[in-house]
Amino acid sequence: MEEPEKLVCDGIARGYVPPEVLSISPRLRLYSSSSATEVDPITYEVIRNTLLNINLEHGQTIQKLSISPITMIVRDFQCAILTEVGDVMCLGPYLLYLGNMLALITKWILENRSDEPGIQDGDVFLCNDPYVGTSHQQDTGLTSPVFWEGELFCWVANSVHYSDVGGPVPGSFCLASEDIRQDPPCFPPMKLAEAGKLRVDVEQLFLRQSRLPSTVDMDLHAAIAGLNLARERIIKLIQRYGPEIVKAVIDEVMDAGERAVVEKLQMIPDGRWSERVYTEVSVPGDRGIYVSQINIVKEGEYLYVDNEGTSPQVGAINNTYAGLAGGVLAPLTIMLGYDLAGTSGGLYRRVKFRPVFGTITCADFPAPISTAGVYNMPMVVATATGAVAKMIACADSPLREKAIGMADVHAYGGWIFNGINQHGQFFVGMSAGMATGALPASPVRDGVDTGGLFWVPGMEASNVEENEMAWPVLTLYRRENAAGAAGAGKFRSGLGAEEAWILHGTEQMDVHVYMDESFVKNQGMMGGNPGGRAFFKVKRSTDVNQMLANGSIPQNYDELKGEEEKTFFKGPPIVLKRGDIWCTNLPNFAGFGDPLRRDPELVAKDLADGKLTVHEAQIVYGLVLATDGSVDVDGTSAYRESRYLKRLGTIAKSPLKSSS
């Protein structure tokens, strides 16, 4: 850390940053395209469509055969087809930030494994090392070369969240870790399968770390089945059309994606856009506040991204370069690459990173990384989303309409817990209920209530019944949030959701990760309100069981009698007991524009739909109702005018200034 600029980005001392041209052993023969190959426009489309379908089928296989709700329901995984040198050709509609990580792992393998032990047909490499290219150790990547006649043609790869990969804490999110050696183990790329044969020694090495070896093994085999399917189908495609043609299509898909992005970049003025998101607490007990900042410079037809302004790496709140790059590319995929159907490789070419190392969003070894999946990664995506959205909101129409405000900052997944379930089995749960998500506001329309998380496009919440079958809990209620101040704006955010729970069928349960923000982290867009504060509330020794016995299911956490537990962000583990009730939420996300500019009829509609109270309609939106309950148009204008005047009259100019 003394002279970090002397460290090399080798995936060991600091996060791996691949060079423009990889250093690959001459022992490995690559299939390279001949620029002379012409593909007719029809064959091109047939092959393009097939490749996208192969990748989707790869994803569907993982989804179907895996058994962790986090994978099969929440879609916390990704799969991709990559070129022979490890560039992403296409990724699936799953966790978007994982896409580029598959490229990093693959490129690292090409540079570091092509000589010894060599890369052969039928190999599958496993890697969960964040310094090589994962978001955290749980998101373990598998990547497998596809060979054609002895030459490396392309790669297929996936990353799946495995429920427990070891380390001191069930679920492997180690909040108290201050060094990666207190984290779950990191495995740099090693062969899980060699020349088509599963290496049981490596499989067992990986499973041996886990508290849930059987679950992890099922998921691992789901991932292998996905890879095998994709590899076999690509081979069939090559057999049918010939390697030159398929290769030419892969190259052209990337070029076409790049042209699409360039055209959009031309609609954006040059300039610099930034976002800053604050987080708190580096390890339990710490009282610090830390900054994540992303700056995007758009110059001509390229984007240059840095994280200057970000706090130095600290405690257990770090991610590596892989997380930074992936987190920035995710919102770009949605706001600049929305018409590419996941063929994001061309987009990636236009984004250049100038990371500041040794920071919480681009940490050097041996910073621990295991918690990044729930803290840093959503934070980096959110920070990048803010910067990208502001840039897009400055673009020409229709691109400017694609801007989307900041979504989830820290609450992803809600909470992680473990215990013995009602069937007598040990379990580790990650609550997927909050995966209802919400689409944030944009410059032209409201977000979508419980409309999913845009950077995990296929994401889904589990049913309450599925949760209650798997875990010893009873959900008292699960409902959409109110519209209120959180996420208010000229266009408001979609609404998130809230859930209240009690234990059922067990006496106690441990919660290791929960989200109770001391302050809201989300940032509003262009004068809009920020999103809401994510919370995790616990009330002890309540009368809930008495109420249930009396025939009434509590519907309001706040009205229940009991002792409120004082919770903290990244607080110590909580032991939940019978009679406790706890409440989790995914808050509304960012609003766009001054709420006083909101169309009064839209405010009235939320009122009519029961999503907003009359009081909040007045306070937040300056709405005045006539005696018959309809919108008083003149009254609203006049009242809003008075609110503007009040702002002007009472606010003194602040002495603070921006930094130069």
Partner 1 sequence: MGYYIGLDGGGTFTDCVAMDSDGQIRFAKAPTTTENFSDGMFDALTALAEEWGITLSDLITSTERFSLGTTVGTNLLVERKGARTGLLTTAGHGDAILMMRGSGRITGLDPELYYHPQATDKPEPLVPKNLIREVNERVDCEGEVVVPLNMQEVEDAVRSLVEDQGVEAIAVSFLWSFRRPDHELEAMRIINRIAPNVYVSCSHKVAPRMGEYERTVATVINSYVAQKTAIYFAGAAERLKEAGFNHPLLVMQVTGGILPVKAALEVPLTSLGSGPVGGLMGSAALANQLGHSNVIATDMGGTSFEVGLIVDGEPLVSDENVVSQYRYKQLQLQTTSIACGGGSVAYLAPYSRSIRVGPQSAGANPGPVCYRRGGTEPTVTDADVVLGLISADTFLGGKMPLDRDAAVRAMENLGRQVGLSAEEAAAGILKINNAKAAELIRQQTVIRGYDPRDFMLFAYGGAGPLHAFAYASELGVKGVVIPLGNGASTLSAYGSASSNLVRFFEKEQLFRYPFPLEELNGLINKLEAEAHGALTEMGRAPEDISLERFAQMRYSGQWLHSLLRKLPGGVYGQAEMGQIVDEFKATYDALYGSGAGRVSQGVELFSVRIRATAYLRRPEQAFHIKKESRIDEAARLGHRTIVWPDDIEKVSSEVFDGRYLRFGNRVTGPAVVELPHTSVAVGKGQTLSCDVLGNMVLDL
Partner 2 sequence: MERQQVLIGDNLRLARVEGAIYFICACGQTLGSGDENFKDYCLVEESATASIGAGYKASDQGMADQVCFREFFCPSCGLRQATEIARVGDPYLSDIQPRL
Q: How far is the CB of 646 from partner 2 (least distance, A)?
A: 8
400 binds, among partner 2, partner 1, none (CB under 5 to 8 A by kind): partner 2
Q: How far is the CB of 640 from partner 2 (least distance, A)?
A: 9
The span from the CA of 256 to the CA of 267, in Å, is 17
394 binds, among partner 2, partner 1, none (CB under 5 to 8 A by kind): partner 2
Closest CB to partner 2 among 175 and 230? 175
Residue 569 vs residues 117, 163, 514: alpha-carbon distances, Å: 45, 22, 8
- List Cβ neighbours of 565 (8 Å cut-off, separation of 6 or more): 537, 538, 539, 540, 574
610 binds, among partner 2, partner 1, none (CB under 5 to 8 A by kind): partner 1
The span from the CA of 242 to the CA of 245, in Å, is 6
Using rule CB under 8 A, residue 315 touches partner 2? no
Secondary structure (3-state) at 36: coil
Contact 113, 105 (CB under 8 A): no
Closest CB to partner 2 among 428 and 596? 596
Using rule CB under 8 A, residue 453 touches partner 1? yes
DSSP 127: E
Using rule CB under 8 A, residue 394 touches partner 2? yes
Contacting partner 2 within 542-571 (CB under 8 A):
564, 566-569
Q: Which stretch binds partner 1 (CB under 8 A): 12-20, 305-313, 373-381, 498-506?
A: 498-506
Contact 399, 392 (CB under 8 A): yes
Contact 336, 393 (CB under 8 A): no
Closest CB to partner 2 among 87 and 594? 594
Using rule CB under 8 A, residue 292 touches partner 2? no
Q: Which of 275, 446, 449, 499 binds partner 2 (CB under 8 A)?
A: 275
Q: Which of 478, 521, 570, 640 binds partner 1 (CB under 8 A)?
A: 478
Using rule CB under 8 A, residue 411 touches partner 1? no
Secondary structure (3-state) at 636: helix
Q: Which stretch binds partner 2 (CB under 8 A): 35-43, 136-144, 283-291, 546-554?
A: 283-291
List the alpha helices (DSSP H) in 361-456. 376-392
Q: Which stretch binds partner 1 (CB under 8 A): 25-33, 110-118, 458-466, 512-520?
A: 458-466
402 binds, among partner 2, partner 1, none (CB under 5 to 8 A by kind): partner 1
CB 424: neighbour CB atoms within 10 A? 8
Closest CB to partner 1 among 23 and 508? 508
The span from the CA of 137 to the CA of 318, in Å, is 12
Q: Which stretch binds partner 2 (CB under 8 A): 213-221, 300-308, 390-398, 574-582?
A: 390-398
Contact 362, 307 (CB under 8 A): yes
Q: Which of 25, 65, 256, 276 binds partner 2 (CB under 8 A)?
A: 276
Structure tokens at 233: 């189908």
Contacting partner 2 within 62-121 (CB under 8 A):
none
List the alpha helices (DSSP H) in 27-184. 41-65, 69-72, 98-113
Contact 340, 347 (CB under 8 A): yes
- List Cβ neighbours of 66 (8 Å cut-off, separation of 6 or more): 72, 77, 160, 218, 219, 222, 223
Using rule CB under 8 A, residue 477 touches partner 1? yes
Contacting partner 2 within 639-658 (CB under 8 A):
643-648, 651-654, 656-658
Contacting partner 2 within 211-270 (CB under 8 A):
269-270
Q: Which stretch binds partner 1 (CB under 8 A): 368-376, 438-446, 521-529, 615-623?
A: 438-446
Using rule CB under 8 A, residue 579 touches partner 1? no
List the alpha helices (DSSP H) in 163-305. 200-208, 213-241, 243-265
Structure tokens at 48: 């393009």
Structure tokens at 539: 């009330």
The number of C-alpha atoms within 13 Å of 419 and in the hemisphere containing its C-beta is 24
Closest CB to partner 1 among 317 and 416? 416
Q: How far is the CB of 124 from partner 2 (least distance, A)?
A: 44
Closest CB to partner 2 among 195 and 651? 651
Contacting partner 1 within 120-159 (CB under 8 A):
none
Using rule CB under 8 A, residue 287 touches partner 2? yes
Residues facing 306 on adjacent strands:
295
Residue written as token pair 């009259």: 649
Using rule CB under 8 A, residue 208 touches partner 1? no
Using rule CB under 8 A, residue 224 touches partner 1? yes
435 binds, among partner 2, partner 1, none (CB under 5 to 8 A by kind): partner 1
The span from the CA of 117 to the CA of 121, in Å, is 13
Using rule CB under 8 A, residue 300 touches partner 2? no
Using rule CB under 8 A, residue 449 touches partner 2? no
Contact 127, 135 (CB under 8 A): no
Q: Which of 474, 583, 604, 625 binds partner 1 (CB under 8 A)?
A: 474
120 binds, among partner 2, partner 1, none (CB under 5 to 8 A by kind): none
**Nearest CA among 130, 89, 133, 135 for reference residue 111:** 133
Using rule CB under 8 A, residue 266 touches partner 1? no
The span from the CA of 573 to the CA of 279, in Å, is 19
Residue 131 vs residues 23, 141, 263, 291: alpha-carbon distances, Å: 18, 13, 34, 21
Using rule CB under 8 A, residue 41 touches partner 1? yes
- List Cβ neighbours of 6 (8 Å cut-off, separation of 6 or more): none
Using rule CB under 8 A, residue 646 touches partner 1? no
Closest CB to partner 1 among 321 and 471? 471
Using rule CB under 8 A, residue 307 touches partner 2? no
Q: How far is the CB of 165 from partner 1 (least distance, A)?
A: 17
The span from the CA of 440 to the CA of 463, in Å, is 23
- Segment (H or E) for 144: strand 139-148
44 binds, among partner 1, partner 2, none (CB under 5 to 8 A by kind): partner 1
Q: How far is the CB of 425 from partner 1 (least distance, A)?
A: 9
**Nearest CA among 1, 99, 106, 9 for reference residue 55:** 99
One character per residue 57-96, x = contact with partner 1 (rule: CB under 8 A): x--xx-xxxxxxx--xx-------------------x---
